[in-house]
Amino acid sequence: MTFAATVLTLYPEMFPGPLGVSLAGRAREQGKWTLDAVQIRDFAIDKHRTVDDTPAGGGAGMVLRVDVLSAAVDHALANNPAAPVIAMTPRGKPLTQERVRELAEGPGVTILCGRFEGFDERIFAGRPVEEVSIGDIVLSGGECAALMLLDACIRLLPGVMGAPSSGSEESFENGLLEYPHYTRPVEWEGRTIPEVLRSGDHAKIAAWRKHQAEVDTRLRRPDLWERHTGARVQSASGARRENKDQGQ
């Protein structure tokens, strides 16, 4: 199955951009995914091809018009009705690896990119559009966020990533950050590769990596660690217990 990506944007020339090279570029040449970058302005209804207007109630910036947005979304839905429609916005639900995995297993995605102050809110009530954020930062538009979302999906498509295990062992796939990596030279500026990684003892190496992943997650991402330990208690007992009952 080919993963069909449609991007609704005022800047179609930003695509494929970085997705035209390396892994994603090759995968596209091989037909593993397709890209349709659609100009939102083509759905404007006046002779000046207006896409935005001043915010109701006053204030800075401009807002993307709902009549123009809905026409663009309807066009994408007609072409690929099964693909979820995602609007990139800092007001959206934070993107997770779990959602990326779900999307990558589906028929594709339609991504709506905002500019200016954002979208007329009525688009989210009037059309099946999911709001997604790539983090608590404000970009100048949704295009870079869309590229990130697509990159994360494309690398998971069947046959795209070189070594199959590199997908399941990496950060977030098991709720933890990935363990740290080393390669030659064995010594660099007086710093050496941890002895255990040179021992050839695969059980010891696996145990060390698991421990490092846990320590790093606890120190760097207490939010992930809390969820991970909570989930383990839940799966062991079959019911969710409060953190204070977890004995750690």
Does residue 142 belong to the site contacting ligand ADE (CB under 6 A)? yes
Query: How far apart are the C-alpha atoms of 92 and 90, rounded to whole Å?
Result: 5
Binder of ligand ADE out of 9, 80, 133, 217 (CB under 6 A): 133
Contact region for ligand ADE (CB under 6 A) — 20-28, 44-52, 84-92, 171-179? 84-92
139 belongs to the binding site for ligand ADE (CB under 6 A): yes
Q: Which stretch binds ligand ADE (CB under 6 A): 3-11, 49-57, 132-140, 159-167?
A: 132-140
Instruction: CB nearer to ligand ADE: give 115 or 127.
Output: 115
User: Would you say 136 or 242 has its CB closer to ligand ADE?
Assistant: 136
127: nearest Cα among 2, 1, 4, 8: 8
- Determine the Cα–Cα distance for residues 52 and 54; give it in Å rounded to an integer: 7
Strands annotated E in the chain: 3-9, 33-39, 52-53, 63-64, 85-94, 108-113, 129-133, 187-188, 191-192
Residue window 86-115: x/- pattern of binding to ligand ADE, with contact defined by CB under 6 A: --xxx-----------------------x-
Using alpha carbons only, how large is the chain's radius of gyration in Å?
A: 22
61 binds ligand ADE (CB under 6 A): no
Shorter beta-carbon distance to ligand ADE: residue 35 or 147: 147
Among the listed ranges 12-20, 138-146, 158-166, 231-239, the one in contact with ligand ADE (CB under 6 A) is 138-146
Burial annotation 137-165 (CB, 10 A radius, 16+ → b, else e): eebebbbbbbbbbbebbbbbbeebbeeee
Q: Report which of 81, 109, 82, 75 is spatially closest to residue 95, judged by C-alpha positions.
A: 109
Q: Are 89 and 69 in contact (CB under 8 A)?
A: no
Smallest CA-to-CA distance from 92 within 25, 38, 139, 153 is with 139
Determine the interface stretch with ligand ADE among 22-30, 67-75, 137-145, 191-199 (rule: CB under 6 A): 137-145
Among the listed residues 135, 158, 180, 194, the single contact to ligand ADE using CB under 6 A: 135
- Closer by beta carbon to ligand ADE, 145 or else 157: 145
Interface residues toward ligand ADE, by CB under 6 A: 88-90, 114, 133-135, 137-139, 142, 145
